[in-house]
Copies of this chain bind each other. A is one copy, B any other.
Amino acid sequence: MEPAAIKAIFFDVFGTVVDWRSSIIREAEQLGRGLGVVKDWPAFADDWRAGYHAGMRRVNAGLDDWKTVDQIHRECLEALCEQYGITGLSEPQLATFNCAWHRLDPWPDAVDGLKRLKAGYVIAPLSNGNMALLTNLSKFAGLPWDCVLSSELVGRYKPDPKVYQAAATMLGLEPGEVLMVAAHGSDLRGATAGGLGTAYVSRPDELGPQRPYAPEDSREFDFHAIDFKNLADQLGRSVP
């Protein structure tokens, strides 16, 4: 894919734009202090994230009707509270904690990199997060999108190729005019199957210090960047 062919850039969000793990651990620790309990909060965050993946797979496999990510997170949270022995949370506390996923910090390069890319392209998230989650998260993190796109608008979850194609169509574009950016090979392979260009951004800290980072093969995708500023450099979007 030549940079001149690109009219819009779609971004995966969890892990690619925002550091979900540190943010969820921080909110869980705060909750634990309020309740006076100590748990393995990093493991809790990882389990919550795993439940999200499992919930989406069930929807795409036809085992469940459509559920938003907020709903999947909530069902998973209730199961994890039982599993970890976290009791005494009121309904408002559960609802607020579930929305920790609406309050995730961006990676340090993300906002500046997005601003540079926005000067040359339409930029939008294309995330499995639902519209409410993505809108609140983007406001919290100061993400300067041109619009917000979500799998919720398609009724299928990434990496189903239909999601990428439908999002391009919604912006009046051909798949080949759109670059998908993600830190995860599976997401980019779905985009490739949908006809989009791909940019892999390495996020070696996404899964925390205990898990060795296994980067993707740089030859598999159209671009391979170490962060969003580096991607802007490669696309010729100079520092303003």
Contacts and interface: CB of A to CB of B under 8 A. Distances in A.
B122 A171 contact: no
Interface in A168-215: 170-173
A70 B135 CA distance: 25
A143 to B, nearest CB: 10
B139 A170 contact: no
Interface string A130-153: 111111101100000111100011
Nearest to A139: B146
Contacts of A131: 147, 170-171
Interface string A118-136: 0000101000001111111
Contact of A172 (B70, B122, B145, B170): B70
B132 A138 contact: no
Interface in A150-171: 152-153, 170-171
Given A145-B147, A147-B145, A172 B139 contact: no
B138 A147 contact: yes
